[in-house]
Amino acid sequence: MLVIRESVIVLEFMNILIEDAETLQYLTSNSQWTKNASEGKDFGATETAFQAAKKEPIGRFNIVFYIPQTRQFINMDHGRGKGLAEISPVVANAPAV
């Protein structure tokens, strides 16, 4: 006999989003940025999202799972887009040679 516990939570879906780590905004389907995670484009796979994020004109980014039913986030990966590199404070304050 098969027994299924009532307390088991089944998640119907999770969205895989690109998050700009500095602005905490999510990339949408029309290449805009939004603070609303439910408007973010679902990339379907972390590798797809990671490759797309590396091409975006942003600095640091995160790949996150977003669970709309519970509004929870799980950080999966991070990297840097093709935006301007951050300048280290040590280099920025170094005397000119």
Q: What is the pLDDT of residue 6?
A: 52
Q: Which helix (H) or strand (E) holds 55?
A: helix 46-55
Type of residue found at 63: I
- Bridge pairing between strands 25-27 and 33-34: antiparallel
Closest CA to 25 of 64, 55, 82: 64
pLDDT of residue 14 exceeding 60: yes
Tens of pLDDT along 48-81? 999 999 999 999 999 999 999 899 999 887 888 8
Whole-Å CA distances, 74 to 21, 63, 84, 87, 88: 14, 9, 26, 28, 28
pLDDT of residue 26 exceeding 80: yes
- For the chain, the average pLDDT equals 81
